[in-house]
Amino acid sequence: MAKNGASATKAAIGHKAPGQVAMVFDLNKCIGCQTCSVACKTLWTRDEGTDYQWWMTVNTLPGKGCPMDWEQMGGGYRDGVPQEGKLPTRQEFGGGWDFNYDEVFYQGKGNTVHLQPVGPKPTWGPNWDEDQGAGEYPNAYYFYMPRLCNHCTRPACVEACPRGSMYKRPEDGIVLRDEDNCRGLQFCAEACPYKKIYFNYIKKVSQHCIMCFPRLEQGVAPACARQCPGRLVFVGYLNDVERPIHKLVYDYEVALPLHPEYGTEANIFYVPPMSPYRLKEDGSLDMETPRIPMEYLERLFGPRVHKAMNTLQGEMKKVRAGGKSELLDMLIVYRWHTLFEPFTRDPVEVGGPQAVKSR
Amino acid sequence: MHAKKVSNASALLDPAAAGWQKVERDVIDLVGMPVHVQTSRYVRTVWADKLVGKVRAVSVRAAHDGERVAFLLEWADDTQNTEFAERTFPDAAAMLFPGNGAAAIGTLGSADAAVNEWYWRADLETGENLVAHGLGTDKPANGAAIDAKGAWKDGRWSVVLSRPLKAKGADNVKLAPGKTASFGVTIWEGNNRERGDLRSYSQQWHELTLDQ
């Protein structure tokens, strides 16, 4: 099994898989409700050893994120050379909190005791700095950033594993791990610049988002995308020229990878957040300056964010003037199926989430 | 070195067993596994200027009773790492045995020359019996179980690795009274984040004769 994985790896690394599956998150529509996080959590990470794992997280930006200060932890590539990365700790991910469910729900103290974490008082969590953001009233700002494994075209994790236990599936570019061959060395977690690899301290192997591949294989979109009430997550093949992912990433260039300077060629893309204009001291609008500083967005999405924002604003202007915009229609998502095609099957049709998981 | 004939090798499974004091020890020098042979480019790049192989000597004792053979490994280690913790790894050790004369210890064998590895790690309940065909290739070996027990005291690990002499399966080293076999030792210092092929090891195979 490992041998096959290792050879497949060599075939696919550094080249876009012909059928690379990708996702686009439109940050203008994310309300930070965490339904994606919980959809993933309930499907994949309920066992002991995975309690602190949140393969999908949504954090308020600007913020320290999850794991705390992950953007300062290194990893990835610079000029093609692997960069040293820090191994995030369970505490930096926020730990897995245990709650006093028994006390509140079964010991008759429902009116006297609050539901709260038991044990040491937590000092960090997967969504600790929610809605703090940055800036001063009346020009404070923040937005939400959903993050999962980027299933990179040049996955630093795959290259870092000395055992060849990780591989990129040639058919769809999903980055997977042969858990039977994983020995918990965690070089993958060090090397991943997005810090989206977790250590299962019961099974003693590393684990990460598998892009719900058992669902994809049956035409069902990943749980995080399918459950999103904001309908802001596109799923599809990157090379499918007729569908939104390809158009947003390549034609309109409004969907950008997070931190392209990490050099791993992420396959999760984001439509950057637009923001209201700043208010001047006299209460009038500063029509030149968006509240979310462009410097900040450039730090997240690289210099291409300027062009992306110009395109988005240009299209909005066009529509305000009575014109039509394929781009905005696509982002509005009049028909939800367009988000997921060809992965539009209802999970119930294939036997429900647990049936998908047990395959 | 010799594996001393004793009346009951099972009594030696505890590293603190008094019987071990009657068994002579050999001290084997260890070196760090070179960074340039590491199979991962990430590891080669990041560890280029770091110290690999913190443990540089190990004491080895061996005894058998005609049914079972046991090794006692002892080495100095200021830090007792018993689990996967915050940016450190469990301490570990292994006895290495070449599957045939061609197996190189520095590469943990090759595609056609296996190395049998009796593995102990501080967080595991028991030992593991592994077979490797090169660096980063170790996998479970069939046909025999390895008993292992470790104890840390006063800055020193004592670890016993043991197996019945008779073991089925081509992966398992053949050991018999009166016969000579080759062995090596490898140690991981978890506090130095040693894991995988970041470890120290005996640069050559050593000879072991099981007393009649």
- Kindly report the nearest CA distance between residue B132 and chain A, in angstroms: 11
What confidence score (pLDDT) does residue A1 get?
A: 34
Nearest CA in chain B to A189: B87
**For residue B28, how many other CB atoms are within 10 A of its CB?**
20
What confidence score (pLDDT) does residue A8 get?
A: 44
User: Which chain A residues touch B35 with a CB distance below 8 Å?
Assistant: none
In degrees and rounded to multiples of 5, residue B81 shows phi and psi of -110, 110
CB-based contact, B126 to chain A, within 8 Å: no
Residue B120 in 3-state DSSP? strand
ipTM of this model?
0.97
- The reply to whether residue A183 touches residue B135, judged by beta carbons under 8 angstroms, is no
User: Which chain A residues touch B137 with a CB distance below 8 Å?
Assistant: 163
The 8-class DSSP code of residue B105 comes to T
What confidence score (pLDDT) does residue B100 get?
A: 82
Opening angle at CA A20, ends A17 and A25, nearest 5: 145
What confidence score (pLDDT) does residue A7 get?
A: 43
Query: What confidence tens digit (pLDDT) does each residue in A231-258 have?
Result: 999 999 999 999 999 999 999 999 999 9
Which CATH number goes with the domain that contains A157?
Answer: 3.30.70.20
Residue A10: is its pLDDT beyond 50?
no
Residue A215: is its pLDDT beyond 70?
yes
- A108: region left, alpha or beta (phi > 0 left; psi from -120 to 50 alpha): left
Residue A15: is its pLDDT beyond 70?
no
> In this structure, what token pair is assigned to residue A122?
């937590």
- B154: region left, alpha or beta (phi > 0 left; psi from -120 to 50 alpha): left
User: Which chain B residues touch A2 with a CB distance below 8 Å?
Assistant: 139
User: Which chain B residues touch A162 with a CB distance below 8 Å?
Assistant: 38-40, 43, 135-136, 196-197
CB-based contact, B36 to chain A, within 8 Å: no
Which parts of A219-323 are beta strand (E)? 233-237, 256-257, 268-271, 277-279, 285-290
Note down the domain range covering A290. Answer: 2-358
**For residue A342, how many other CB atoms are within 10 A of its CB?**
14
CB-based contact, A160 to chain B, within 8 Å: yes
- The reply to whether residue A162 touches residue B135, judged by beta carbons under 8 angstroms, is yes
Euclidean distance between CA atoms A113 and A280, whole angstroms: 47
Half-sphere exposure of B194 (CA within 13 A, CB side): 29
Euclidean distance between CA atoms A236 and A268, whole angstroms: 11
Q: Which of B38, B41, B135 sits opposite A159 (nearest CB)?
A: B41
What confidence score (pLDDT) does residue A14 get?
A: 65
Query: What confidence tens digit (pLDDT) does each residue in B12-65 have?
Result: 999 999 999 999 999 999 999 999 999 999 999 999 999 999 999 999 999 999
CB-based contact, A187 to chain B, within 8 Å: yes
Question: pLDDT tier at A260 (50, 70, 90 boundaries)?
Answer: very high
Residue A9: is its pLDDT beyond 60?
no
**Domain B2-210: assigned CATH number:** 2.60.40.1190
Percentage of chain B modeled with pLDDT above 70: 100
Q: Which of B40, B83, B136 sits opposite A159 (nearest CB)?
A: B40
DSSP state letters, B18-84: GGGGGS--EEEE-EEPPGGG-S-HHHHHHTTTS------EEEEEEEE-SSEEEEEEEEE-SS---S-
Dihedral sign, Cα of residue B22, residue B24, residue B27, residue B33:
negative
Look at A210 and A108; give whichever has higher pLDDT.
A210
CB-based contact, B79 to chain A, within 8 Å: no
Nearest CA in chain B to A160: B42
Question: pLDDT tier at B74 (50, 70, 90 boundaries)?
Answer: very high
Strands B156-164 and B147-153: antiparallel
- Kindly report the nearest CA distance between residue B68 and chain A, in angstroms: 28
Count the domains in chain A.
Answer: 1
- Kindly report the nearest CA distance between residue B167 and chain A, in angstroms: 24
The 8-class DSSP code of residue A274 comes to P
Q: C-alpha distances in angstroms, B204 versus A124, B97, B98, B196?
A: 49, 11, 11, 19
Question: pLDDT tier at A312 (50, 70, 90 boundaries)?
Answer: very high
- Which pTM does this prediction carry? 0.94
